[in-house]
A and B are shown apart, each in its own frame.
Chain A
Amino acid sequence: MEEKTYVDDIDRSIYDIKDVEDDDFRMQEGLTEEIIKKLSDEKDDPEWMREFRLESLKIYNELKVPDWGPSIEGLDMDHIATYVRPKSNMENTWENVPQDIKETFERLGIPQAERKSLAGVGAQYDSELVYHNVKDEVAEQGVIYTDMESAMKGEYADMVKEYFMKLVTPRDHKFAALHGAVWSGGSFVYVPKNTDVSIPLQSYFRLNAKGAGQFEHTLIIVDEGANLHFIEGCSAPKYNVANLHAGCVELYVKKNAKLRYSTIENWSKNMYNLNTKRAVVEEGGAVEWVSGSFGSHVGYLYPMSVLKGDNSRMEFTGVTFAGNGQNLDTGAKVVHIGKNTSSYMNTRSISKSGGISTFRSSVVVQKSATGAKSAVSCESLMLDSDSRSDTIPAMDIRTKDANIGHEAKIGSISDDAVFYLMSRGMSEEDARALIVSGFADNVSKELPLEYAVEMNNLIRLEMKGSIG
């Protein structure tokens, strides 16, 4: 185990390098009405947002901490700084981003990926965006991709007001209320009707400040007949105090539109990741979630799809990797409302060195949703006997003609497969890493190449030192 810690420290290095905290502004820790008002002042919120934040705070104080999942006792809101503003304006060229912050994103490969394979990039550092840019040809298509703050005050102010936290309301749960009160940063995307954005947009969220929270809001509207692939990446260096991520993602997929939302989450292992993601899909539309969860100390994450329109559909492809000290509670939810709607969830979870991985699925078919089809398939791989893996499916079917399937498998790495790979000269560590990568290939196959490579590197890193 000594060995493992050592290797981990070396290999997480690109994620773990901490920048010296040189903030422009750091909110005092805790959560009070004064702090929320101060936040509104700092951010120069419009009036409706000032009220929205205060109302959310009230709701936050009324709601209970969830008692059905992993413990979040280690999270003390009185010791979380909810707003940390980096010393940088939002820039649209990397040259203008301060050197240390720019270097952080370079280590994470963001500017390189932007040059090679992305149509636009947003980069958030602590509570604010430091970079946002969209390629000219995509901007010319009328695609709007900007930070939430600019969107809220600019040309799209009405649209933001119409959609902001209407899908995930502050009443949803305690951390949605918290998000409503202290949100900062995130991205706004609008894809006009019948516009096909052929290359992906990406937002990357980096939390550098110790003992801080990140509460970015992502709002995406894909208008009728349009098509978008959005990628979200997240990471943070490890500290010995709790950090909190309570972001919120709201996706509006209009008639016959299609949105793919891919996430590679690699928060550090002192992070409480209490994130809420939801999509509403209109007639004939489709949402596809691709989700890799690797980091965090505790995670609650269940992207939800509301299949509102007839013939709308969702697919969820996910992998969760819980290592030592991690308790990751992940899954997906779907609500079928429209007729002939379909949902498909395909997930893999891996647990190792005492890690706990729980998969929850919830399938609801409402009375109106005749002809609904749903299939859930989850597979778990436990790498040793210290680890734990649970599957908790829930179904609420109100129609007679629904076609529902559920399949769950659980297993361990086959010694024969390890022997086979080793007999060709591969080390045991590499052989195991390869088998685990193969197990997670439902997700890596769905990711653009660079991200699939990154994901396999993450698996390799998690597998380091796991032998003996």
Chain B
Amino acid sequence: MNNEKLLEVKDLHVSVGDKEILNGVNLEIGTNETHVLMGPNGTGKSTLGYAICGNPSYSVTGGDIIFDGESIVDMAVNERAKKGIFLSFQNPLEVPGVTLSAFIRSALEQKTGKRMKLWDFKKKLKETMELLSMDESYAERDLNVGFSGGEKKKAEILQLLMLEPKLAILDETDSGLDVDAVRTVSNGIKIFKERCEGSLLIITHSTKILEALTVDTTHIMENGIIVKEGDASLVEEVNATGFQELEI
């Protein structure tokens, strides 16, 4: 701990349409830290992820988000991505017309401003896909089109490992995955931490995805605010007793 601050969410208020979903969220994440965000369904966990990424449907009505020392609330989604924020989507969208491989290469080019040599790129992509037990053929298939739920999630982690962001927000990346797939994904996240010394904000309901990781801080969200913070043991506590029994 005591690492340099990477992300500071300060008294953040976020609305969708007329409805306020986040009512003053405070959260800090340091470099190379792993944070877990838990809470009952519909309390605003995904909203926080979207707001940090800059989804234009989620308007920030108060507070601030500081990333790498700079306020990002007025920044477009793609600018935030270039600064090093990555969101692994709960439901990755299907985009026909672009292959997974071409998409990652183009995203890398956007980020670095350089076009990676095709051979180097292919080599790195192949190695990374092997780490995630992904069949090579997925690289040349249209982005997420006809992928199973598990393959979509793996494709998200593949993008994470290829793009090497500073902060990765994983929105229920483990949901709907079988045991083996969760292990593979968890392992992929561990590799991300080791390689990039990146920070993580993991939104989850289960502990399986955390098995390969060391959790620094756990946040519990209810009704649009963080109601409790603790260390890794808080995850266990929630799983043992549920949110209602927590002493807030």
Closest-by-CB residue of B relative to A436 is B97
Asked if B111 CB lies within 8 Å of chain A CBs, one says: yes
Contacts of B111 in A (CB 8 A): 425
CA distance A427 to B110 in the complex (A): 9
Q: A425-B81, A426-B110, A428-B78 are in contact. Are A444 and B97 (CB under 8 A)?
A: yes
Min CB–CB distance A437 → chain B (angstroms):
5
Most buried by A among B78, B82, B89, B92: B78
Contacts of A423 in B (CB 8 A): 53-55, 77-78, 81, 86-87, 89
Interface residues of A in 427-466 (CB under 8 A from B): 427-428, 431, 434-435, 437-441, 444
CA distance A70 to B144 in the complex (A): 40
Min CB–CB distance A449 → chain B (angstroms):
13
Residue-by-residue, is B134-164 near A (CB-CB < 8 Å gives 1, otherwise 0)? 0000000010000000000000000100010
Interface residues of A in 259-297 (CB under 8 A from B): none
Asked if B40 CB lies within 8 Å of chain A CBs, one says: no
Interface residues of B in 102-132 (CB under 8 A from A): 103, 106-107, 110-111
The answer, among A415, A420, A425, A444, for a CB contact under 8 Å with B95, is A420
CA distance A416 to B46 in the complex (A): 14
Contact A439 B97 (CB under 8 A): yes
CA distance A417 to B57 in the complex (A): 12
CA distance A97 to B106 in the complex (A): 40
The answer, among B56, B57, B82, B142, for a CB contact under 8 Å with A425, is B82
Min CB–CB distance A376 → chain B (angstroms):
20
CA distance A444 to B55 in the complex (A): 31
Contacts of A420 in B (CB 8 A): 89, 92-93, 95
Asked if B72 CB lies within 8 Å of chain A CBs, one says: no
Contact A425 B110 (CB under 8 A): yes
CA distance A256 to B107 in the complex (A): 47
Contact A426 B96 (CB under 8 A): no
The answer, among B53, B55, B93, B97, for a CB contact under 8 Å with A440, is B97
Asked if B232 CB lies within 8 Å of chain A CBs, one says: no
The answer, among A422, A425, A434, for a CB contact under 8 Å with B98, is A434
CA distance A281 to B111 in the complex (A): 52
Contact A437 B110 (CB under 8 A): no
Asked if B76 CB lies within 8 Å of chain A CBs, one says: yes
Closest-by-CB residue of A relative to B97 is A438
Min CB–CB distance B86 → chain A (angstroms):
8
Contact B98 A414 (CB under 8 A): no
Contact B81 A438 (CB under 8 A): no
A: interface residue count bin: 20 to 34
Closest-by-CB residue of A relative to B112 is A425
Most buried by A among B56, B95, B159, B163: B95
Contacts of B107 in A (CB 8 A): 424-426
Contacts of B81 in A (CB 8 A): 422-425
Min CB–CB distance A202 → chain B (angstroms):
24
- Count of chain B residues with a beta carbon within 8 Å of a chain A beta carbon: 27
Most buried by B among A414, A437, A438: A438
Main secondary structure of the interface of A (DSSP, over half): helix
Main secondary structure of the interface of B (DSSP, over half): mixed
Q: A426-B78, A427-B78, A434-B98 are in contact. Are A417 and B106 (CB under 8 A)?
A: no
Contact B57 A415 (CB under 8 A): yes
Asked if A163 CB lies within 8 Å of chain B CBs, one says: no
Closest-by-CB residue of B relative to A459 is B97
Most buried by B among A424, A439, A441: A424
Contact A419 B55 (CB under 8 A): yes
Most buried by B among A425, A437, A440: A425
Q: A424-B107, A424-B159 are in contact. Are A437 and B97 (CB under 8 A)?
A: yes
Min CB–CB distance B106 → chain A (angstroms):
7
CA distance A244 to B96 in the complex (A): 36
Q: A424-B103, A424-B159 are in contact. Are A438 and B110 (CB under 8 A)?
A: no
Contacts of B103 in A (CB 8 A): 424
Contact A424 B163 (CB under 8 A): yes
Contacts of B163 in A (CB 8 A): 424-425
Asked if A197 CB lies within 8 Å of chain B CBs, one says: no
Contacts of B110 in A (CB 8 A): 424-427
Contacts of B106 in A (CB 8 A): 426
Contact A438 B57 (CB under 8 A): no
Min CB–CB distance A272 → chain B (angstroms):
31
Residue-by-residue, is B32-72 near A (CB-CB < 8 Å gives 1, otherwise 0)? 00000000000000000000011111000000000000000
Most buried by B among A420, A435, A439: A420
Contacts of A417 in B (CB 8 A): 93, 95
CA distance A440 to B163 in the complex (A): 28
Contact A428 B76 (CB under 8 A): yes
CA distance A421 to B111 in the complex (A): 13
CA distance A417 to B92 in the complex (A): 9
CA distance A414 to B53 in the complex (A): 18
Contacts of A438 in B (CB 8 A): 95-98, 142
Contacts of B96 in A (CB 8 A): 438-439, 441
Closest-by-CB residue of A relative to B109 is A425
Min CB–CB distance B118 → chain A (angstroms):
15
Min CB–CB distance A333 → chain B (angstroms):
28
The answer, among B53, B76, B95, for a CB contact under 8 Å with A434, is B95
Interface residues of A in 131-149 (CB under 8 A from B): none
A-B contact pairs, 11 of them (CB 8 A): A419-B55, A420-B89, A421-B95, A423-B77, A423-B89, A424-B81, A425-B110, A426-B106, A428-B76, A435-B97, A440-B97
15 further interface pairs, Cβ-Cβ under 8 Å (given A415-B57, A424-B163, A438-B142): A415-B56, A420-B93, A421-B95, A423-B55, A423-B87, A424-B81, A425-B111, A426-B107, A426-B110, A431-B78, A434-B95, A435-B97, A439-B97, A440-B97, A441-B96
Top 9 A-B pairs, shortest CB-CB distance: A438-B97, A425-B110, A422-B77, A424-B107, A425-B81, A438-B96, A441-B97, A420-B93, A422-B78
